[in-house]
Amino acid sequence: MQAFRKDLLTELATFGRENDQAHTAREAKMLNITPDTGPFLALLVKTGRYSRILEIGTSNGYSTIWLADAARQTGGRVTTLERSAAKAALAQANFERAQVEVELVVTDADEWLPAQPDAAFDFIFLDSDRGQYTDWWPVLQRLLMPGGLIVADNAVSHAAEMQAFIGLTASAPGFDTALVPVGNGEWLVHKEA
């Protein structure tokens, strides 16, 4: 990763932390991944050679930049969904500063996901409304290519909210799962090839 992009990520991590301490309303918070989660996601993308990446929950683009930088090395592209127009505007400005190409879609995932073709993505990062993950599971299975990976953030920090999704995916035939205690906890769901 280039130094200017690392510096920007450090700046965004600080901004996110300070912003979230200053606000109580969830919609005003950035709710970024932890600084150690970014390199972990990037490593997963690079070692898995994932090139069709979907992120649900852009916020200000902090995690997206990690994914997009990794995708540059795999010849890939990131599509990210954000329902807040204000956060999407922040993210777009940060993508330009980071000099990364990202397809940013301002939409509700409930509307966007069902319209996508089968096996459209080989890597899906969930960092959104955890209560919706179980409802999304049937379409996520369809959208994920064989050999693909889903990573869900906050599997430890919000374990109660994630319990239903973790149970559902852990018992799904044709999928392998693992909990990785990095950052707020990452739940990995791998679709067998």
Burial per residue of 102-133, b for 16 or more beta-carbon CB atoms within 10 angstroms, e otherwise: bebebeebeebbeeeeeebbbbbbbbbbbebb
pLDDT digits (tens, 9 = 90+) for 38-95: 999 999 999 999 999 999 999 999 999 999 999 999 999 999 999 999 999 999 999 9
31 or 158, higher pLDDT? 158
Residue 16's pLDDT is 85
Residue 26's pLDDT is 83
Question: Taking the model in full, what pTM does it have?
Answer: 0.95
Residue 171's pLDDT is 97
pLDDT digits (tens, 9 = 90+) for 101-159: 999 999 999 999 999 999 999 999 999 999 999 999 999 999 999 999 999 999 999 99
DSSP string, 36-95: THHHHHHHHHHHHT--EEEEE--TTSHHHHHHHHHHHHHT-EEEEEES-HHHHHHHHHHH
Residue 142's pLDDT is 98
Residue 5's pLDDT is 96
- Please name the CATH architecture into which domain 3-191 falls: 3-Layer(aba) Sandwich (3.40)
Q: What CA–CA distance (Å, rounded) separates 132 from 170? A: 17
Sequence-separated (6 or more) residues with CB below 8 Å from residue 66: 9, 33, 38, 39, 41, 42
Domain definitions of the chain by residue range:
3-191
Residue 73 exposure: Cα atoms within 13 Å on the Cβ side: 14
